[in-house]
Amino acid sequence: MFSENASLLVIDGRYVLDEKLGAGGMGIVYRATDRLTGGVVALKRVQVQPAAPGESDSESLEVVLSREFQMLAGLRHPNIISVLDYGFDAEHQPYYTMTLVENARTILEAGQNQPTAEKARLIGEMLLALAYLHRRGIVHRDLKPRNVLVTPAGQVKVLDFGLAMTDDQPESAAGTLDYIAPEVLGDQGASPQSDLYAVGVIAYELLSGVHPFRTADAGDLVRSILYKTPDLSLLNAASQNGSSESRTDASSTHVARALLPGMGETPTMLVSVLPPTMPGPPEPTPASPDPASDKAVDVSGLAALVGKLLQKSPTLRPRSAEMALAALQSAADVAVIQESAEIRESFLQMSPFSGRSEEIGRLRAALDQARAGRGSAWLIGGESGVGKTRLLDELRIRALVEGALVLRGQGLAEGGLPFQYWREVMRRLALITALSDIEAGVLRSLVPDLASLIGRSVPEPPAMDGSGAQQRLIMTIIDVFKRQRQPILLLLEDLHWADESLEPLRQLIRFAGEQPWLIVGSYRTDETPDLPEKLPEMKHLPLARLDEAAIAALSSAMLGEAGRQRSLVDLLKRESDGNAFFMVEIVRALAEEAGSLSAIGERTLPVHIFTEGVKTIVRRRLARVPAWASPALTLAAVAGQQIDLKVLAAGAALSEDEWERWLTVCVNASVLHRVDDVWRFSHEKLRDALIAALPAAERAALHRAVAQAIEATYPHDPAYAERLAEQWFAAGEDRLALPYILRTVDTLANLTGEYARALKWIDQGLAITADQPDLIDARLDLIQFQGKVYGHTGALDDAYVTYSVGLAAANERPKMRIVMLNGLSRVRWQRGAFAEAKADAETALALAVELGDRESLAASLNTLGNAAYRQGNWTLARRCFADAMTLYDALGIRQQVAASLTNLAILAAYEQDWTTTRGYFEQALSVFRAIGDRYGVALCLSNLGGVATYQRDWESACDYMEQGLSTFRQSGNRYGEVDTLAGLAAPQIMLGQLEAAWETICTGLRLGQQVGATRALIELIIRSAQYCEERGDLHLSAALAGFAESHPAADAETVQFWILPLLERLAAHLAAERFAAAKATYAGASIEAVIAALLNVGAPTALAGRS
């Protein structure tokens, strides 16, 4: 281990620095462990120094690094190192991570003692990387042996783009003197030909063992580069004398320099290399051709190519890397130079972003606004394959470069876990956020491995019922977001599969305008065309298909100049109709037919490509997967859209090495792809086709295998209950599915509040347990869950029938009879049958006393207290609530303790014992705060404001109400917000804060209409009447009070305490005839019409008889 500032041993909360690999003037490279994935990466941490006087921002190292990241993040090629992540550490220094290649060597070291054919192969792979870069408009400008590494498997990897440039960036002389082209020294600017010059120098060293010029004196080296012709005879001599040894005076010290800061050049090694004193790993057999293969090498032709690459004038060098490859191919017939499927995919899948300049411009502007603290939310819609994911990828790169924290959540068509979209998002945030025990306990339902992520045990959170638990979870998510200090880009893909996950999104959107957040979701318009209506707060950004100009640009990006041929563009336009996904598939099919991408433009094009559209595409892709890899791929399809490699490893007979090969071939076939550390099917239709092709018996067997693998991989993990229920059910193993169905329903009904999904599983469970006497206990559990869900959703008739059926079935199970009786009692008093409700509760209480079960006894006391309260028997209600509270306190069920205190407070309020009322609410508030129940906290604060209002303590009332209003807004409870706004306006009026009161009233009226809170709207109309009274408009005040008095939503308490006193005051100041006329002004009007009149700028007009 190394000595390092403790705050930097973990970068950005995610990367643990394990070992220093190299250091130099620009920064340090480490081997690091990714806490999110458990994988090992290379992390480059760059020290950004303040700009020198007169130095422009464009010249700063930070800008250089950002440019490097932008380019690397968009590159995907087998001969180029892939960038994974980017950010800023605790000292605000930029870093980025990339694939770590263990035990890599420089191209010169890898070529030592190798036959000429193998050296030609290495040169060929280096040229393949340059061909890819140059087609993307990128000039490397610092190509040298240390930036061209070779893996133990013999694959060339080009890296370190800190000095690279794109076509639209200003040029300046830069690079390493040993490999810099003459024209760059002469200030003519870098070009693809200057990169080819560096290839020539490296090839010369590789083939001869020495640099083409003397390098000891910099002045002599510059003169040689500009004027001296290299001696090509050394290349022929080296080949005739056998494999050359690389020189040791310069090239062999590259690795040592990489590991020792301050020596010569400023190294920025991105991968692990072996010091020259250590023996390298043995070369794999495929990478070490037999010396006899040198017979196929035309050494003079090879020397001629190197000479052409080293020409002083760039115009005399090969015009492109492809032309250099062709010359190399003619001199050394090496198979690897042929276009592989992996290389083809790099051009097809990662071509430059095109055709969406307007859309990306709007999103980048929104990102700039978010960074300034004015966030927003966007919803990108379009058909499958139109380019939504690519647009998000481009935005992600821009956000990372600008220092934003990028969070990404993605939905699944099936097999997803509760709140699927938020799981990876919260895993990432948990690494960089100090969580309380309650927050950690709440989030563990989303992040099962939270304890290992944050490095401490996570206690269970206090128990809460379904709606309360869901609100607590949502509020915890929002609180964690609000504690972040850096800008956030939140990407939520495939929202057409979202259900419960939309609720946290809605709540976050409400705060986005005042936060540095850019929230961007995507969805398929053909799946859920009405999604923008469900998320009206999001700005809709529809993606149309590409136009002809964009089609030509994308074609050119994939194929070079051949891609602009009129006939090819016409074919792509006709066959794809501007769908980017179909365009890529068409070019892939043409390349497979022609033998390579470059050969497409040389052949006569067909009239049609895909006769059956997407079905043909799916068949072609799946056919590219070799037979040995197909069983594991089919198993993955049965397991779900997202690939869980641990589960697959437990269910398929492949070795660790074979899994790596399996991933490679599936990626090369474009069947799988990786999104932020998660492997997925490239398109769900690929997965659907694999499943549809399975015979029923084989499909069932695979579902069984997946279920067993999940059980073995995640034993007793409640987060996987629903997936196991799905897999066992699909396997036809109903009884094995049943325990997981029960756990799933418990989570959905009591934790996340996903009632529709819970009812689906309840129905399946009831079907399994029907006419099965030995499963009666499970059946009764399902029935009581069903009754509870119906009650929560307001389906009281269904709840009544369900509890009645459950009561009959639970004849010999007293504890379950108590549950059903309490459920029936709740339904009855909600329907107004108070006497029957009391009778059911008393029967349940008697059974609980006989059974001696304290929790059943407490629940029955609570139920009886509610029934007695609604009957007006407050003495009995008070005794029941107090006894229930004592029992719940002894049992440690704190949410129910707080609920009992709230019930006691309401009883005291009805008796106008305000001191006792206030005391109970304050006790309940303390408990709700302790258990993290934000809704309970808001409710107590609002009620305390109501108590202060009745006591005419107007200032305390305002204070409590404003706290409650803020908490309701934070929790996203809009009904509570409307109620509190109605309550807040009263003390504001009494304090003479009329402008504030009118703003409160108008806000409440608008929000109340949105959520349909009729009772609160009536109270706000009463506040409007009070406001008018204070302003001296007695006629309008009487009109509003008269309307409120006659409305059925005005309860007796409101009429008694607010309306009648107001009408009495108005009657005392208005003539009887005028008062009566004023009261009747809005007779027969609808509440919507009255509110519309109130919200007009001018005075409301008479609305008599309007509806």
The Cα–Cα gap between 479 and 486 comes to: 15
- CB count in 10 Å sphere of residue 202: 28
The kind and range of the H/E element at 883 are helix 874-891
896 beta partners: none
CATH for the stretch 6-60+79-99: 3.30.200.20
749: DSSP letter: I
Task: Look at residue 343 in the predicted model and tell me its pLDDT.
Answer: 58
Which pLDDT score, from 0 to 100, does residue 247 have? Answer: 46
Lowest mean pLDDT among 40-54, 55-69, 199-213: 55-69
357-542 CATH fold: Rossmann fold (3.40.50)
3-state secondary structure string across 943-1003 = HHHHHHHHCCCHHHHHHHHHHHHHHHHHHCCHHHHHHHHHHHHHHHHHCCCHHHHHHHHHH
Identify the three-state secondary structure at position 910.
Answer: helix
Exposure on the CB side of residue 713, measured as CA atoms within 13 A: 20
The CA-based angle 628-631-634, given to 5 degrees, is: 140
For residue 278, name the pLDDT band (cuts at 50, 70, 90).
very low
With vertex at residue 418, the alpha carbon angle to CA 416 and CA 422, rounded to the nearest 5 degrees, is: 90
**pLDDT for position 337:** 53
Backbone angles phi, psi at 479, to 5 degrees: -60, -40
**Is the pLDDT assigned to residue 361 strictly greater than 70?**
yes
In angstroms, rounded to a whole number, what is the distance separating the alpha carbons of residues 590 and 584? 10
Q: Which residues, in sequence order, are bridge partners of residue 44?
A: 29, 96
State the average pLDDT over residues 195-205.
96
Position with higher pLDDT, 673 vs 247: 673
The pLDDT assigned to 850 comes to 93
Rounded CA-CA distance 75/99 in Å is 13
pLDDT for 240 = 58
Report phi then psi at 126, rounded to 5. Answer: -65, -40
Residue 632, pLDDT score: 93
**Rounded Cα distance, 974 and 965, in Å:** 10
Which two structure tokens, joined as six digits, stand for 286?
């495929």
Per-residue confidence (pLDDT) for residue 62, from 0 to 100: 58
- What confidence tens digit (pLDDT) does each residue in 424-479 have? 899 999 999 999 998 999 898 888 888 888 889 998 887 776 667 777 888 889 89
Task: Indicate the pLDDT class of residue 71, thresholds 50, 70 and 90.
Answer: low
Integer Cα distance of 910 and 922 in angstroms: 17
Identify whether the C-beta of residue 1024 lies closer than 8 Å to the C-beta of residue 1094: yes
What would the pLDDT profile of 542-572 be if each residue is shown by its tens digit? Answer: 988 778 887 787 777 777 777 778 888 887 7
CATH assignment of 895-972, among 3.90.110.10, 2.40.240.20, 1.20.120.1200, 1.25.40.10: 1.25.40.10
What is d(CA 401, CA 164) in angstroms, rounded to the nearest whole number? 16
Beta-carbon contacts of 750 under 8 Å, excluding residues fewer than 6 positions away, are 465, 466, 469
The whole-number pLDDT of residue 1097 equals 43
Which of 473, 447, 392 lies closest to 676, judged by CA?
392
Q: Which two tokens stand for residue 771?
A: 């006419």
Residue 947 in this model has a pLDDT that exceeds 90: yes
Q: Can you tell me the distance from the alpha carbon of 355 to that of 373, in angstroms, rounded to the nearest whole number?
A: 29
579 neighbors 545 (Cβ within 8 angstroms): yes
Give residue limits of the domains in the chain.
Answer: 6-60+79-99, 105-338, 339-354+546-606, 357-542, 895-972, 995-1095
Cα–Cα distance for residue pair 900/880, rounded to 1 Å: 9
pLDDT for residue 1104: 36
Q: By three-state DSSP, how is residue 258 classified?
A: helix
Query: Dihedrals φ, ψ of 502, to 5°?
Result: -70, -30
Given a cut of 70, is residue 279 above it in pLDDT?
no
From residue 811, give the alpha-carbon distance in Å to each of 194, 425, 864: 89, 47, 21
**Locate tokens 């109340």: which residue?**
1008
Whether 40 and 34 have beta carbons less than 8 Å apart is answered as yes
What integer pLDDT is reported at residue 70 of this predicted model? Answer: 61
Per-residue pLDDT at 607 = 62
Q: Are 535 and 573 in contact (CB under 8 A)?
A: no
Give the integer Cα–Cα distance in Å for 1025 and 1034. Answer: 8
Q: What is the pLDDT of residues 169-193, one digit of tens each?
A: 444 455 688 999 999 988 788 899 9
pLDDT number for residue 61: 56
Amino acid identity of 443? L
Interval 722-736: pLDDT, tens: 999 999 999 999 999
Catalytic residue among 12, 85, 89, 142: 142
Whether residue 380 is predicted with pLDDT greater than 70 in this model: the reply is yes
Please list the alpha-helical segments (H only) found in 513-613. Answer: 531-534, 548-559, 566-576, 580-594
pLDDT of res. 332: 78
| Half-sphere exposure for 483 (CA within 13 Å, toward CB) | 16
CATH fold of the domain at 105-338: Transferase(Phosphotransferase); domain 1 (1.10.510)
Mean pLDDT of 734-754: 88
Q: How far apart are CA 914 and CA 404, in angstroms?
A: 51
Task: Reduce the DSSP state of residue 102 to 3 states and report it.
Answer: coil
Q: For position 609, what pLDDT does the model report?
A: 63
Q: Identity (one letter) of the amino acid at 412?
A: L
Q: How far from chain centre, in Å, is Cα 597?
A: 34
State pLDDT tens for residues 859-883: 999 999 988 887 888 899 999 999 9
Q: How far apart are CA 668 and CA 974, in angstroms?
A: 50
| 3-class SS of residue 488 | strand
**Residue among 11, 1, 193 nearest 97 (CA):** 11
DSSP-derived 3-state class of residue 30: strand
Q: Which of 187-196, 346-355, 754-763, 1038-1047 has the lowest mean pLDDT?
A: 346-355
> Residue 149: enclosing H or E segment and its boundaries?
strand 148-150
- Beta sheet of 10-11, edge-to-edge order: 10-11, 15-24, 27-34, 40-46, 94-99, 83-88
Q: Which amino acid is at 440?
A: A
Instruction: Give the pLDDT mean for 403-407.
Output: 89
Task: Note the pLDDT tens digit of each residue in 575-629.
Answer: 777 777 777 777 777 776 766 666 676 666 666 665 456 677 788 788 889 999 9
Pairing state between β 138-139 and 678-681: unpaired
Locate 897 and state its tokens: 């303790």
- 803 pLDDT exceeds 90? yes
**What is the distance between the alpha carbons of residues 524 and 1066, in angstroms, rounded to a whole number?**
58
Question: Cα torsion at 651, 652, 654, 658 (round to 10°)?
Answer: -100
d(CA 66, CA 186): 27
For range 1006-1017, the mean pLDDT: 84
Beta-carbon contacts of 135 under 8 Å, excluding residues fewer than 6 positions away, are: 347, 557, 560
Burial 329-359 (b: 16+ CB within 10 A, else e): bebbebebbebebebbbbbbbbbbbbbbeeb
Of the listed ranges 432-436, 685-689, 890-894, the one predicted with least confidence: 685-689
- Local confidence band at 402 (pLDDT 50, 70, 90 cut-offs): confident
* Angstrom distance (rounded) from CA 573 to CA 548: 7
Average pLDDT, the chain: 82
What residue spans of 748-833 are helical by DSSP H?
Answer: 755-769, 776-792, 796-809, 814-830
- pLDDT at residue 613, as a whole number: 60
- How far apart are the C-alpha atoms of 551 and 567, rounded to whole Å? 12
Give percent of the chain with pLDDT exceeding 90: 40
CA atoms within 13 A on the CB side of 7: 6
The lowest-confidence range among 76-85, 530-539, 837-846, 1041-1050 is 76-85
Q: Which residue has the higher pLDDT, 548 or 1017?
A: 1017
Q: Is 771 a catalytic site residue?
A: no
The answer to whether the beta carbons of residues 520 and 489 sit under 8 Å apart is yes
Contact 783, 802 (CB under 8 A): yes
